[in-house]
Structure 1
């Protein structure tokens, strides 16, 4: 029998507009990527597109796949492959057993999870986590990380958590979800109302002297860059506000999880306008009763791309002597973690996460 990694898994990254299909073997995509419209308003057309997409990929394979594994929006009972009522895919209402349906057609196990979970899983196994740990080993820093918080900024605010190599799914398939956290900017709203594509458009129109609700986040980014007519400062601030709200939510999550942070999603084009306000929030302080203050986090959040941040970690590493001996041991007196933008790309990380998740489930 072949090792699991030699077997082929068909994958899908499902969005409200398009479905993106591929197949992976040994953590490498082995087929051309197939992209088709999702027909998310019509269940029969939508299901037909999914089946046809997988059949197209299957026809390209040298051997039969051992599983299908893919990201699909929630709410869902991912464990049993049942998709619930989806606000951005109106075709799915009342509970659609998508997993069992595909199993009946293709005759292989079908695994479904949300994009935030699979993004985090892909980054933990193939992306941010091994990249950071290798850099630390190469620099002879006595520090290795095990936990990952993956966050996607796009249509909504997606998230996933991997703890010591294991994906946190939770008892109700919503472990690690951040989108429903309280919103710092609007405490009576969920944070996704400030961390999403719609939030960028809304904030821009609140601050701009010229209202235009037909703009897309890409348009607003181009306005911020000076490549499209509009209110440049309002454009920059709309992304900065997103970063502030996201930073507050991430601060709560990292306090519980204590891991590296990796960012992805369609809004990463505007990363430079999002990142600084996000980082300021993580680096902020909160008040104590005696009029003093305490850091928001127990750890310093270091920017992977900032050489001086990496030097800070090196500079604070030391060796201490064990009492009553001549032996020295390494000691990192300052608690640290890293934040970085995905190097693999969001869709690639999701696909690799789907592949890895299928292998994990097959081992069970």
Structure 2
């Protein structure tokens, strides 16, 4: 049996998994990421890979963006500093392991997993959006990630939907992540004086009749629906799959968004609108990374 290695480098932790050609995770390891020194983290990754001892066809790797997907380079992620910045990480890890390494972002890899093993496995054109701490995205055509001319396709978080609207971090005012992400929902609620810890609590207050919470949740769902309707008008996917904590954990969120999307497109399009909740767990990025490596095997 052939195997691929899937790697998810985060600002806090790094996960490494051994995945067989049936896309089953047979081993997984996790350790802390050194956010300043990539050499330490990459050395640990290579040690894990060496210990596997299986026939490995390649390595799929997810790192925080922004990324240069054409050249396998990390650019300026907010949670990785020092020598991580502008690091040609795919080349560095390939040198350490002697294996081909394919870099992509978590949104694209989760989309790929959905297309091969999730809600999108029966469709050709699969759009994925994660609605969680941030807003991530990926678009897959015939089980191939669509990256665009420069590798920036589906870096959607800064798409301005509301002129002068809310923002956080480096997100532009009114960017979709600044309106519809879990962080945005919670931040707006706290600024308005609500005592909440996460977006689910804001939604609970909205359902109980709190007008401030209702406005925040309405904004989040409505602007996300506007954004998804725009996707349908632009690329006409077979299905849009929503993952992430907001979409998965808030009861009725995905269904409400789908109804809103249908109200924002031509009547003739409505029968084609499918907005579905992800059925994959937090391993979707690892599954997508492994499939990416398998798909590159010559």
TM-score tier by shorter-chain length is: 0.7 to 0.9
- Match of residue 48 from structure 1: 40
Out of 217, 220, 229, the position equivalent to 1:242 is 220
Structure 2 equivalent of residue 361 of structure 1: 296
Which structure has the bigger radius of gyration? 1
TM-score calculated relative to the size of structure 1: 0.70
* Residue 3 of structure 2: aligned partner: 8
Q: Which has the higher contact order (CA 8 A, sep 6+)?
A: 2
Distance 1:233 1:38, change over 3 A: farther
Structure 1 portions without partners, runs of 5+: 1-5, 134-144, 286-294, 301-334
Residue 340 (1) aligns with residue 280 (2): no
Structure 1 counterpart SS, 2:76:
coil
Preserved CA contact (<8 Å) 2:66 2:75:
yes
Instruction: Please point out which of 97, 121, 128 is paired with 1:150.
Output: 128
How far off its partner does 1:94 sit?
Answer: 4.6
TM-score between both structures, scaled by the size of structure 2: 0.84
In the alignment, which of 37, 59, 62 is matched to residue 32 of structure 2?
37
1:165 aligns with 2:143: yes
CA RMSD of aligned residues (A): 2.8
Q: For residues 125-204 of structure 1, what are the structure 2 equivalents within 5 Å?
A: 125-130=116-121, 133=122, 145-184=123-162, 186=164, 189-204=174-189
Which of residues 69, 73, 78 is equivalent to 1:78? Answer: 69
* Residue 351, structure 1, aligned to residue 253, structure 2: no
User: Which of 109, 112, 126 matches 2:103?
Assistant: 112
Provide the C-alpha distance between the structure 2 equivalents of 1:279 and 1:126, rounded to a whole number of angstroms: 22
Per-residue CA deviations over 1:151-178 (Å, capped at 9, x if unaligned) read 1112321101112332101121112332
